[in-house]
């Protein structure tokens, strides 16, 4: 296969393999998004019909304004904006609400970008401990708020908890946490990077003040792309418009939103999100089938003696962490390829996306695989086990 240019190879793993990479499946483009990439690839492609008031989310052709309105509706929120990745959504909210020295409640499984957003604003993260099942509960969140209050004399400025975490793909009690947040009158950002775009999400039902989603993680969109949505109560703060006036020219740029830095996610990335949106609206209705598939796979996976699932069971998400220390890692310890023997075996079976060389704890994600592919995967794991003399429990 020839390269794109020089040593930039053509990426074709979605075409040639079954890809179980933990973070890639939800961001695989739809055919419509791919068309958008081709038609809108050129830099400022979304600016052809930009007219007053000269802001991305007000453009009518292509229907960017309509998309913003529908996106907010789809999420059960009042306002939505697109941003270059979920992290830029955290940044916008944290930068609006958090001052130097303020505390922000996060999960003990918070994504590192939540840490960075808080650090950038001069805040301090305060982690809610997990329960024995690696779940963040409402009770633990309330306890943490009390602790912070006692320790600092002030309430945290923001609660930012992941709906599903990046480590185990466990579901955390965001509905209960939203209630706690309301009791303390602390705004609640629900990080739905692993849920918006793959399952139905309604911010009003959750009771969140902000939702953040990821285009490249779960919305069949190119990177970077993401979503930040707000209730109308907070929209004026997070989407506040510029007040700065030039001291010499007296210039003002009134409609531009400070945290968005004006126009946010232009070009092909936005049009790809819009092009995938109809498919997204349809696919979230079939989340239960995706969950059935991962549970079937894990049932089969657990028939391999020594295998464990570290994520909560039964699975509620396709992202899953497993432990093969007592199965495949035993082989790796004496194999000349070490842990790569397992990657080799998977690759020979046209399966990629596990962390190459890892045979202790590792993650996989089956989102979007067909039942045939799921059954093939289950069989492949068992075949590899058999080949190396690992027992299959009937």
- Contact set for its own copies, span 264-323 (CB under 8 A): 264-269, 271-272, 274-275, 278
- Beta strands 210-214 and 226-230, pairing class: antiparallel
- For its own copies, the closer of residues 191 and 221 by Cβ is 221
- For its own copies, the closer of residues 172 and 216 by Cβ is 216
Backbone angles phi, psi at 10, to 5 degrees: -75, 130
Q: Are 32 and 278 in contact (CB under 8 A)?
A: yes
- For its own copies, the closer of residues 164 and 301 by Cβ is 164
d(CA 291, CA 58): 37
Give min distance, CB of 324 to its own copies, in A.
20
Give min distance, CB of 47 to its own copies, in A.
7
Q: Which of 53, 132, 150, 247 binds its own copies (CB under 8 A)?
A: 247
d(CA 198, CA 27): 10
Query: Which parts of 54-111 fold into alpha helices (H)?
Result: 64-74, 86-97
- For its own copies, the closer of residues 173 and 259 by Cβ is 259
Measured between its terminal Cα atoms, the distance across the chain in Å is 43
Please give the residues from 174 up to 193 whose contact with its own copies meets the rule CB under 8 A.
Answer: none
Please give the residues from 340 up to 369 whose contact with its own copies meets the rule CB under 8 A.
Answer: none
- For its own copies, the closer of residues 190 and 271 by Cβ is 271
Question: Which residues, in sequence order, are CB contacts of 78 under 8 Å at separation 6+?
Answer: 72, 229, 230, 231, 232, 235
- Measuring CA to CA, which residue among 295, 321, 324 is closest to residue 307? 324
State how far the alpha carbon of 252 is from the alpha carbons of 51, 246, 274, in Å.
18, 7, 31
- For its own copies, the closer of residues 40 and 234 by Cβ is 40
Q: By CB under 8 A, is residue 135 in contact with its own copies?
A: no
d(CA 47, CA 64): 11
Q: Using CB under 8 A, which of the segments 114-122, 184-192, 321-329, 375-383 binds its own copies?
A: 114-122
Q: By CB under 8 A, is residue 105 in contact with its own copies?
A: no
Angle between helices 86-97 and 112-120 (to 10 degrees): 40
42-81 footprint of its own copies as x/- string (CB under 8 A): xxxxxxx------------xxx------------------
Q: Using CB under 8 A, which of the segments 3-11, 173-181, 302-310, 369-377 binds its own copies?
A: 3-11
Q: Which of 71, 97, 98, 117 binds its own copies (CB under 8 A)?
A: 117
CA dihedral 190, 193, 195, 197 (to 10 degrees): 120
CA dihedral 68, 281, 193, 99 (to 10 degrees): 30
- For its own copies, the closer of residues 44 and 371 by Cβ is 44
Question: Which residues, in sequence order, are CB contacts of 226 under 8 Å at separation 6+?
Answer: 82, 83, 84, 85, 86, 87, 88, 89, 193, 212, 213, 214, 215, 216, 265
Q: Which of 5, 53, 336, 372 binds its own copies (CB under 8 A)?
A: 5
d(CA 315, CA 374): 15
Q: Using CB under 8 A, which of the segments 170-178, 200-208, 259-267, 377-385 binds its own copies?
A: 259-267
Angle between helices 267-283 and 64-74 (to 10 degrees): 40
217-246 footprint of its own copies as x/- string (CB under 8 A): x--xxxxx-----------------xxx-x
- For its own copies, the closer of residues 207 and 226 by Cβ is 226
Q: Which of 18, 33, 177, 332 binds its own copies (CB under 8 A)?
A: 33
Q: Which of 65, 78, 127, 344 binds its own copies (CB under 8 A)?
A: 127
Task: Count CA within 13 A, CB hemisphere, residue 317.
Answer: 33
Give min distance, CB of 250 to its own copies, in A.
9
Q: Using CB under 8 A, which of the segments 20-28, 289-297, 327-335, 367-375 binds its own copies?
A: 20-28
């Amino acid at each position: 296969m020839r390269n794109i240019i020089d040593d930039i190879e053509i990426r074709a793993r979605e075409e040639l393999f079954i890809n179980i990479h933990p973070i890639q499946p939800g961001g695989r483009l739809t055919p419509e998004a791919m068309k958008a990439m081709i038609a809108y690839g050129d830099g400022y492609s979304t600016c052809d019909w930009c007219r007053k008031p000269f802001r991305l989310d007000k453009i009518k052709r292509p229907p960017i304004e309509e998309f913003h309105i529908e996106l907010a509706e789809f999420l059960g929120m009042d306002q939505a904006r697109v941003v270059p990745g979920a992290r830029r959504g955290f940044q916008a909210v944290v930068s609006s609400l958090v001052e130097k020295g303020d505390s922000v409640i996060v999960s003990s499984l918070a994504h590192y970008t939540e840490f960075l957003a808080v650090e950038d604003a001069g805040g301090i993260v305060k982690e809610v401990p997990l329960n024995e099942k690696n779940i963040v509960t409402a009770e633990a969140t309330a306890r943490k708020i009390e602790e912070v209050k006692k320790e600092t004399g002030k309430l945290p400025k923001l609660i930012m908890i992941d709906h599903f975490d990046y480590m185990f793909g466990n579901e955390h009690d965001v509905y209960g946490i939203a209630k706690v947040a309301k009791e303390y009158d602390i705004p609640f950002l629900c990080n739905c990077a692993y849920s918006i775009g793959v399952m139905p999400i309604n911010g009003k039902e959750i009771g969140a003040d902000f939702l953040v989603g990821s285009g490249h993680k779960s919305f069949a969109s190119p990177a970077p792309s993401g979503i930040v949505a707000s209730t109308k109560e907070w929209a004026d703060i997070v989407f506040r418009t510029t007040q700065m006036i030039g001291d010499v020219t007296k210039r003002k740029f009134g409609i531009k939103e400070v945290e968005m830095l004006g126009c946010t996610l232009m070009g092909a990335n936005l049009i790809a999100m819009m092009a995938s949106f109809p498919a997204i609206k349809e696919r979230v209705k079939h989340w239960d089938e995706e969950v059935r598939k991962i549970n079937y796979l894990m049932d089969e996976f657990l028939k391999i003696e020594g295998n464990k699932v570290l994520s909560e069971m039964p699975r509620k998400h396709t992202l899953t962490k497993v432990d093969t220390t007592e199965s495949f890692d035993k082989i790796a310890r004496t194999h000349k390829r070490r842990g790569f023997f397992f990657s080799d075996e998977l690759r020979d079976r046209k399966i990629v996306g596990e962390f190459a060389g890892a045979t202790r704890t590792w993650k996989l994600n089956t989102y979007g695989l067909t039942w045939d592919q799921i059954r093939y995967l289950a069989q492949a794991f068992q075949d590899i086990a058999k080949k190396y003399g690992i027992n299959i429990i009937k």
